[in-house]
Amino acid sequence: MIKIFIALIIVGFVWTVLVEPYILSFTKFQLNNTDLKGMRIVFVSDFHIKPFEKFRLKRIVKAINSQNPDIVLMGGDFVNSHKKNLTYPIEKIAHELGKIKSQYGIFTVLGNHDGWQGKFEVIQALEKNGIKVLENKNVNPLANLTIAGIEDIQTGQPDLNKALEGAIGSIILLTHSPDTFPQVPENVTLTLAGHTHGGQVVVKDPILVPSKFGKKYAYGFKNENGKTMFVTRGLGSSILPVRFFCPPEIVVIEW
């Protein structure tokens, strides 16, 4: 009995630390919108690239390119941890991400870890490699589409009015944390968020979710008052390098 127990512990450790965190799954869904018909958008978030994980970053870039995206959207947290010695350097992360091929561009917001490690350094590295950072601003990659982004709720000052100023056509809003969703206006077509990692460890329900709303916005589609948000499980891990019944994902949205 003791041997079985020890074996289960070993298997559990191997799976949650060495296997599942490195699984790369695709979550695909289709939405109806005449303005964006035929568009394919890839959404990724929460990279948390550790010092030894260049291989994982390269796999992510290759997987994104395999989807032939029209637009790539990102939810932040490129770096790992609070300390620079615990992350792969942002300059190298941005260089690899710059190899992503997207017809109409790559757009992102920043996460709390990006803010803690140096917001302006992260912005500079990303934009140098062709990734547009949306800090309370928006862009129009197409005449009938607005991509808007707000600052992180922990390390910035999110301003939805400023972010959505002059928005036209269908509106996709990027926010690192889903906790801003109750304030999002109804004219936003789709809100995309990360930060929660889906809870990272799920035993029937997520064990711990970094949100003031608890498990409410942990993962998946959320519909409130005519508004829609999708929260991704993200790609990396934070605090503890584990995942259980909550594999990393790349989200593919087809219209």
2-254 — its CATH code? 3.60.21
**Residue 8, pLDDT score:** 61
pLDDT in tens, 44-102: 999 999 999 999 999 999 999 999 999 999 999 999 988 889 999 999 999 999 999 99
pTM above 0.75, yes or no: yes
The residues, ordered by sequence, that sit 6+ positions from 228 with a Cβ below 8 Å of its Cβ are 189, 190, 191, 221, 222
Amino acid at 53: E
Is residue 139 within 8 A of residue 132, CB to CB? The reply is: yes
pLDDT in tens, 20-33: 999 999 999 998 88
pLDDT in tens, 206-236: 988 999 999 999 999 999 989 999 999 999 9
Asked if residue 180 has pLDDT above 80, the reply is yes
- Per domain, the residue ranges of the chain are 2-254
Rounded average pLDDT over 96-117: 97
